[in-house]
Amino acid sequence: AQSVTQLGSHVSVSEGALVLLRCNYSSSVPPYLFWYVQYPNQGLQLLLKYTSAATLVKGINGFEAEFKKSETSFHLTKPSAHMSDAAEYFCAVSKGRAAGNKLTFGGGTRVLVKP
Amino acid sequence: GAGVSQSPRYKVAKRGQDVALRCDPISGHVSLFWYQQALGQGPEFLTYFQNEAQLDKSGLPSDRFFAERPEGSVSTLKIQRTQQEDSAVYLCASSLVDRTAPSYNEQFFGPGTRLTVL
């Protein structure tokens, strides 16, 4: 079975500071990994995905994530936080199309950006 | 084009009532997923359709939950005899099945239906 662990349910950063959100996964097969963002009362929006190509993945809004197989991690970073980054972020794993593409999500990390 | 839409956006039900939640996927999307997101938690998979066929319903928490997609487009998630623990946001997602792409097809999520059971 797959699982995703996000360390820290809440993260507070100052505007302009580094954003680092941690995600560790377990999977019996090479995984597909994702980061989604959720703004209040909205659905999930895909930030970026890892599908076994480059291990450093760049996404929208200046976010990027690095797949580290040896550490079973897929941490999300952004060099300089903006007020608009305040939202909840979810890491997710999938076994891909062969397994129906269903996603297994972590518990989420809520980001607060201080001026 | 329009994204995934869900209705109603908010639903309040008394315990024991039946509810029906609707999902309109993106036109042409073959796959449709339902997820349940309890307060303060990540979404959890409920069920998956490819066209009208329900290929995976392993996440449905009880036999009170039933989903259908009779014409391979709009889907309805029905919850019978609602209980307080059913209170959650129910998310619908749809995706293409593009076999020329890497072995994963992106899911596009709707805004969700927030169900509150009193």
Angle at B79 between CA B7 and CA A99, to 5 degrees: 85
Alpha carbon of A45: minimum distance to chain B alpha carbons (Å)? 7
Whether residue B1 has pLDDT greater than 70: no
Q: Provide the CB-side half-sphere exposure for A95 (13 A, CA).
A: 10
Residue A17, chain B, CB below 8 Å: the answer is no
Question: Which of A57, A69, A71, A52 is CA-nearest to residue A7?
Answer: A71
Angle at B110 between CA B48 and CA B58, to 5 degrees: 20
B33 contacts in A (CB within 8 Å)?
A: 101-103
Q: What is the pLDDT of residue B103?
A: 66
Q: Which residue has the higher pLDDT, B24 or A69?
A: B24
User: Of all residues in chain B, what percent carry a pLDDT higher than 90?
Assistant: 85
Q: How confident is the model at residue A101 (pLDDT cuts 50, 70, 90)?
A: confident
Q: Which residue has the higher pLDDT, A42 or B3?
A: B3
pLDDT digits (tens, 9 = 90+) for A19-69: 999 999 987 777 889 999 999 888 899 999 998 778 899 999 999 999 998
Residues whose CB is less than 8 angstroms from the CB of residue B16 and which lie 6 or more positions away in sequence, other chains included: B81, B82
For residues B112 and B7, the answer to whether their CB atoms sit within 8 Å is no
Query: Is A103 in Cβ contact with B107 (below 8 Å)?
Result: yes
Q: What is the pLDDT of residue A48?
A: 93
Q: What is the pLDDT of residue A85?
A: 96
A55: three-class secondary structure by DSSP: coil
Mean pLDDT of all residues belonging to chain A: 91
B112 contacts in A (CB within 8 Å)?
A: 43
Cis status of the peptide bond prior to B8, with omega within 30 of 0:
yes
pLDDT digits (tens, 9 = 90+) for B55-108: 999 999 999 999 999 999 999 999 999 999 999 999 999 998 766 666 677 899
Q: What distance in Å separates the CA atoms of residue A103 and residue A3, rounded to the nearest whole number?
A: 10
CA nearest B111 in A: which residue?
A: A43
User: What mean pLDDT do residues A61-87 have?
Assistant: 95
Q: How confident is the model at residue A1 (pLDDT cuts 50, 70, 90)?
A: confident
Residues whose CB is less than 8 angstroms from the CB of residue A83 and which lie 6 or more positions away in sequence, other chains included: A15, A113, A115
For residues B42 and A90, the answer to whether their CB atoms sit within 8 Å is yes
User: What mean pLDDT do residues A63-91 have?
Assistant: 95
Q: What distance in Å separates the CA atoms of residue A5 and residue A26, rounded to the nearest whole number?
A: 9
CA nearest B34 in A: which residue?
A: A102
Q: Provide the CB-side half-sphere exposure for B9 (13 A, CA).
A: 7
Question: Which of A105, A85, A7, A61 is CA-nearest to residue B107?
Answer: A105
Query: Is B112 in Cβ contact with A103 (below 8 Å)?
Result: no
Residue B109, chain A, CB below 8 Å: the answer is yes
Q: What is the pLDDT of residue A40?
A: 85
Count Cβ–Cβ pairs < 8 Å, chain A vs chain B: 74
Q: How confident is the model at residue A99 (pLDDT cuts 50, 70, 90)?
A: low
Q: Provide the CB-side half-sphere exposure for B4 (13 A, CA).
A: 31
Residue A107, chain B, CB below 8 Å: the answer is yes
CA nearest A38 in B: which residue?
A: B111
Query: Is A108 in Cβ contact with B41 (below 8 Å)?
Result: yes
Q: What distance in Å separates the CA atoms of residue B43 and residue A96, rounded to the nearest whole number?
A: 18
User: What mean pLDDT do residues B2-23 have?
Assistant: 96
Q: What distance in Å separates the CA atoms of residue A12 and residue A54, rounded to the nearest whole number?
A: 29
CA nearest A91 in B: which residue?
A: B42
For residues A76 and A20, the answer to whether their CB atoms sit within 8 Å is yes
